[in-house]
Amino acid sequence: MKRKLGAEDLFKINSVSNPQISPNGEEAVFIRTEIDEKDNKYYAHLFHIQLATGTISQWTYGKERISSPNWSPDGQSVAFLSNRDEKNQLYIINKNGGEAKKVTTLDSGVNSFLWDPSNGKIWISSKIKSGKTFTDKVEKEDKPLPKAYVVDGMKYKMDGIDGAGLVPQDSYSQIAVLNLNDESIDQFTTGEYQHSLQAISPDGKKLVVGVNRADNLDYVFKSPLLLIDVETKEETTIVDQNGYYGGAAFSFDGKYIAYAGSDHSYKNATHGNIYIYDVEGKTTVSLTDGIDSPVGDYAVADTQQGISSPAVVWTAANELYFQLSTMGDVRLYYATLDGAIYPASPEGEHIYDYAVTKDGKFALIAVSNPTFPGELFNYEIAAGERKQLTHFNEEFLKEVELVQPSDISYEVSDGNTVYGWLMKPAGFEEGKKYPLIVEIHGGPHTMYANSFFHELQLLAAKGYGVLYVNPRGSHGYSQAFVDAVRGDYGGGDYTDIMAGLDYAISQNDWIDTERLGVTGGSYGGFMTNWIVGHTNRFKAAVTQRSISNWISFFGVSDIGYYFTDWQIGADMQDPEKLWNHSPLKYAKNIETPLLILHSEKDFRCPIEQAEQLYITLKSMNKQVEFVRFPDNNHNLSRTGTPNLRIERLNQIVQWFEKYI
C-alpha cells in the first residue's frame, strides 16, 4: 500500500533536463538535478546515454551544478558550465572517458558559450569591468572596505542578485573567442553595453548577438538582434523594435535565422511568436501569427530545475520545432517555412525540455504530467511512439500515493470559458465531506498546466481538495484572454476565481462549504489579499510574496515603475487608482485568519509589502501571523534554500490545519 506524500518528499524528486543529441544522432547527454538534504543544496550532474540501447552512464559526480551541456561539432567531446569553483567556468570532457578539463578561469565566470564550427574554438560571454579586458586580472582586496552605490538610473536592482539586489556597476557582458589549442582569449565585442551570445552560422562566419545600445535604458523595453560578420564586424540589424527577442538559431544551410519573441502591443502580456529572418533577402516573417496561443513554456511548477529549453530547433530539411503553451498543455509543435503548422505531441502533458535529431525523425523530450514529475523519452515523431529512457523518479512513484486531478471548465459572466483542475483528497471516500483549498498562480501571465506540482499534491495528501484554475490574465488561451486582466486587477479575475469555486461546489457534494481555504504567491498573493478583503467565505488564507500596496510597490520593486503602469494602467500621477486596486485599502474588511509568508531578499515584491499588511492588520486586532524567510528571493517556492522550502510548506499546512 502506498503512503501519503509529505513535504520532505521534495528531496526524493529528481529533475531531468537539458537533453543534447550528438552530431551522429546516436547518443546524447542530459542533466539530472537532485536536492541533497544533508548539505541543503542542489546538485546537478551530467549523464550520457546510448540511444539505441538506452545505456546510461554518469559523467560527473562532484558537489556542483552542471549546466548548458553542448556537443563539439565533431561529436568527440562535450563542453559544459560548472560552479565547482564557485563561479561558473567552462569545462570540456571527452566522450571516451577521463576527467573534465577546466578551460576558463575568468573572474566573473562564463555566462554562456557556443562551439565554433571549426571545433577548435568556443565563443563565450562573460561580465567584465569597464576599461578591462578578458585577460585582465582583478586584484583581490584582503579586507575590502564597504563602498557606496551611486544610483543614477531606474533599473538599478534586480531580484535574484546576491546581497542587496543591486545590479553591478560598470560591469558589462562581452563576447570573446576561446582558442582551445592554447586557451588564449580574443575579445570580440566592446563598449559599455550588455551583449548576449545568440547563434553562430554553420560556416562560422557570422554571429547573432543581442545588444541594446540606448544611452538610457529606463524606459527602453527591447532586445535588438544583430547579425555580425566575424571577420569585418559589419553589422546587419535583424530586429530592433519594442519587445523581447532571442533564442536565435541558424538553419543548417545558413540561409535562415529563426528566433522567438513578442512585440510590445500588450506589454508583457503579448503572445510570443516564431520569426524567420532570410539572411540574403534581409526580410522577416512571423511564422506563427495564425496561432492564438503563445510560443514557449508558461507553465508554473515547483520540481523542475535548471531548465533551458531551446526557443526553436531546425532540422536539415528546414523544418522547425518549438514549444507552445495551449489549453493547459505545453506541447511540441512542428512547422515548415511555407506555413504548415501542427502539434507534434499529444495533449494532457507538459513537455518542459526537448531536442530534435538533425533528420527530424526523433526527439528527446522531457515530459511531466500531474502525477509524473518528469523523465526523458525517446520520441519517434511521425509514428507518435515513445520509449522512456530515464527512471530516476521510479522509486518515488512506487512508494507515494498521488492524486490525478479532473479537468473542469465553466462559463463566466462575460461569456468566456475558464479552464482548470480539481483534485480530490488522497484516500477520498464517497459520502464524506472534505475541506477545499483554492490555489492561485503568479504572473499573472503564466498558467497552471498538466504538470507535476508537489505543493498541490501535498495539500491533497493532507486531506484537502484542491481547486486551481486559469482565470483571465493566464497564458495558454487567446491574446484577448491573457490581456483581459490588465487594468482590471481584482475585477474580472476575482469573479473568474469565485465562479470556479461556485462551479466546483455545485458539481461536487463532497466539498464542505464551511471549510474553505485560499492561497497563492506573487500575483496569486495579491489575489489572496484581495479575496479576503472582499469576501468572508474562506476560513483561512495564506498569502505569499504578495503585493498589498501598489503605491509603494511602484517605487520599491525592481520592476515597479513600469510594471505598475502596464498592469494597473496608472502610475504615481494617479495614486487614487493605485490605491483603489491595493488590497491594503480593504484591510479593515478582512475577517479571515491570514498567514503572511515572504522572503527577506525578495526584490520583485519586496518584503515591505508584507510588513505593511501585517502591521495594519495587527493594529486592527485581526488574526494574522507573519513568517520571514532569510537569504531568499522571489523564487523561494521553486529554487529556494531546500530546508526553507520545506518550512514554507509546513507553515502553509499548519495554518490550514489550525483554522479549517
HSE value, Cβ hemisphere, 13 Å, CA-based, for 243: 20
Confidence grade of residue 610 (pLDDT, cut at 50, 70, 90): very high
Give the mean model confidence (pLDDT) for residues 438-444: 98
Residue 139, pLDDT above cutoff 90: no
Residue 502, pLDDT above cutoff 90: yes
Confidence grade of residue 135 (pLDDT, cut at 50, 70, 90): confident
Q: What is the pLDDT of residues 14-46, one digit of tens each?
A: 999 999 999 999 999 999 999 999 999 999 999
Q: What is the pLDDT of residues 140-158, one digit of tens each?
A: 777 889 999 999 999 999 9
Residue 446, pLDDT above cutoff 90: yes
Residue 142: predicted pLDDT: 79
Q: Which of 48, 350, 445, 634 is the catalytic position?
A: 634
Q: Is 310 within 8 Å of 18 (Cβ atoms)?
A: no
Residue 136: predicted pLDDT: 81
Mean pLDDT of the chain: 97
Q: Which of 72, 522, 599, 637 is the catalytic position?
A: 522
Residue 652, pLDDT above cutoff 80: yes
Q: What is the pLDDT of residues 472-481, one digit of tens each?
A: 999 999 999 9
Please give the single-letter amino acid code of residue 567.
Answer: Q
Q: What is the pLDDT of residues 73-100, one digit of tens each?
A: 999 999 999 999 889 999 999 999 889 9
What is the CB neighbour count within 10 angstroms for residue 485? 24
Residue 286: predicted pLDDT: 97
- Which set of grid coordinates corresponds to residue 92? 570540456
Catalytic: 391? Answer: no
Residue 54: predicted pLDDT: 95
Confidence grade of residue 187 (pLDDT, cut at 50, 70, 90): very high
Residue 249, pLDDT above cutoff 90: yes
What is the CB neighbour count within 10 angstroms for residue 8? 13
Residue 313: predicted pLDDT: 98
Tell me the domains of the chain and their CATH numbers.
409-659 (3.40.50.1820)
Residue 104: predicted pLDDT: 97
The contacts found for 51-55 with CB under 8 angstroms, 24 or more apart, are 51/21, 51/25, 51/26, 51/27, 51/362, 51/378, 51/389, 52/26, 54/387, 54/389
Query: What pTM did the predictor assign?
Result: 0.97
Q: What is the pLDDT of residues 214-238, one digit of tens each?
A: 999 999 999 999 999 999 999 999 9
Adjacent-strand bridge partners of 648: none
Q: Is 407 within 8 Å of 417 (Cβ atoms)?
A: no
Query: By C-alpha distance, which of 315, 307, 357, 349 is closest to 332?
Result: 349
Q: What is the pLDDT of residues 362-405, one digit of tens each?
A: 999 999 999 999 999 999 999 999 999 999 999 999 999 999 99
Catalytic: 522? Answer: yes
Q: What is the DSSP letter of 500?
A: H
Residue 414: predicted pLDDT: 87
Dihedral over alpha carbons 55, 60, 61, 65 (to 10 degrees): -120
Residue 112: predicted pLDDT: 98
